[in-house]
């Protein structure tokens, strides 16, 4: 089936723009919004990025504020990562995950995310059958969906563990502060 081989080819070929090819000039919000679709590998029926979403990500401390009214390469990288994460976890949970990376350079985080995405897309393409007979598409969808479900459950549990760790750190700091009084 031609559609299946085309899908496999897309999974192997299409990727967000590498760091060195991200815009090295600052973009205004409308330019940022129009640039981002080339970073997202989502089907056309998925929600598109809006300026309100960008502002909400800034308020949620998921990304840095604009430099005046301009957005840098760092902002494009942050938005790209957010677009991957928000497909699976909430914006609040994504902020918690991002906080763990604050000590790393955004370029390193972005390149790590692209590496994970690349490996995942290659793996998925390898799981697709070469030809489709009767219910193979439905069976493949079921397998991939259940695997995604299991991955999401694992992510959510790991987020719970990360939150517990953060709360424990806050309590320790508070306790130390009270002891020093």
Q: What are the pLDDT digits (tens) for 54-101?
A: 999 999 888 999 999 999 999 999 999 998 898 899 999 999 998 888
Question: Are the beta carbons of 45 and 77 closer than 8 angstroms?
Answer: no
Q: How far is the C-alpha of 36 from the C-alpha of 50, rounded, in Å?
A: 10
Q: How many other C-beta atoms are found inside a 10 Å radius of the C-beta of residue 1? A: 13
- The reply to whether 176 falls in a domain is no
Q: What is the pLDDT of residue 44?
A: 54
- The reply to whether 126 falls in a domain is yes
Q: How far is the C-alpha of 127 from the C-alpha of 113, rounded, in Å?
A: 21
- The reply to whether 144 falls in a domain is no
**Whole-structure pTM value:** 0.84
Q: Which residues constitute the domain of residue 35?
A: 2-135
Say which DSSP state 67 is in.
B
Question: Are the beta carbons of 58 and 65 closer than 8 angstroms?
Answer: yes
Q: How many other C-beta atoms are found inside a 10 Å radius of the C-beta of residue 114? A: 19
> For 25-63, what is each residue's pLDDT tens digit?
999 999 999 999 888 776 554 568 899 999 999 998 889
Number of domains the chain contains:
1
């Amino acid at each position: 089936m031609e559609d299946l081989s085309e899908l496999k080819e897309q999974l192997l070929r299409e990727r967000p723009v590498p760091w060195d090819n991200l815009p090295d000039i600052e973009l205004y919000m409308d330019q940022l919004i129009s640039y981002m679709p080339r970073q997202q590998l989502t089907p056309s029926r998925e929600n598109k990025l809006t300026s309100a979403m960008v502002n909400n990500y800034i308020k949620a401390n998921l990304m840095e504020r604009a430099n005046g009214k301009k957005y840098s390469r760092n902002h494009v990288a942050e938005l790209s990562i957010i677009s991957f994460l928000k497909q699976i976890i909430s914006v609040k949970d994504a902020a918690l995950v991002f906080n763990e990376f604050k000590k790393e350079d955004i370029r390193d985080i972005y390149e790590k995310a692209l590496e994970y995405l690349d490996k995942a897309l290659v793996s998925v393409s390898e799981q697709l059958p070469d030809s489709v007979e009767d219910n193979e598409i439905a069976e493949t969808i079921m397998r991939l969906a259940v695997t995604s479900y299991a991955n999401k459950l694992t992510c959510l549990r790991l987020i719970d563990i990360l939150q517990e760790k953060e709360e424990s750190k806050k309590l320790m700091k508070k306790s130390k502060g009270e002891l020093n009084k």
